[in-house]
Amino acid sequence: MGEPVRVVRAADMVEADPTAGMQRRRAFEVPVLWAGSVETAPGAVSGWHHHDRNETCLYVVSGVLRLEFEGYDGHLDAGPGDFVHVPAHTVHRESNPGERPSLAVIARAGGGVPTVNVDR
């Protein structure tokens, strides 16, 4: 039988999986699921990274989340209420072209390393 249902309070989240330009906070990590949030400052651009064999889903709570990724010219923007799917092993970077911080909730499924920073 699994662990009992639990609540992770915002104050109990921990800094996790750093990538330049982003502040990720982990709520919990179990063998095949990682959950947390990411805040990106206005004008910030993250380093290039991927999430190993994890499928990643982001739900944008506030601000603008801009994504660039290998194999695509240009960028995609997501705003409040939008969901973003980043397939496993997709090398990408995120930025915030807005004037306010962006905040997104993250869920990753698949296991492996949560974040792999890469040189590009």
Q: Is residue 80 part of a domain?
A: yes
Q: What is the CATH number of the domain that holds 109?
A: 2.60.120.10
Residue 4 placed within a domain: no
- Residue 44 lies inside a defined structural domain of this protein: yes
In a domain, 28, yes or no: no
pLDDT at 86: 95
Would residue 7 count as lying in a domain? no
Measure Cα distances from 24 to 21, 34, 60, 81, 109 in Å. 10, 12, 14, 19, 16
Residue 55 lies in domain: 37-117
Q: Give this prediction's pTM.
A: 0.90
Q: What is the mean pLDDT of residues 2-23?
A: 88
pLDDT, average across residues 22-46: 93
State the average pLDDT for the chain. 93
Q: What is the pLDDT of residue 19?
A: 83
pLDDT in tens, 84-99: 999 999 999 999 999 9
Band of residue 17 on the pLDDT scale cut at 50, 70, 90: confident
Number of domains in the chain: 1
- Of the pLDDT bands very low, low, confident and very high (cuts 50, 70, 90), residue 1 is low
**Does 11 fall in a domain?**
no
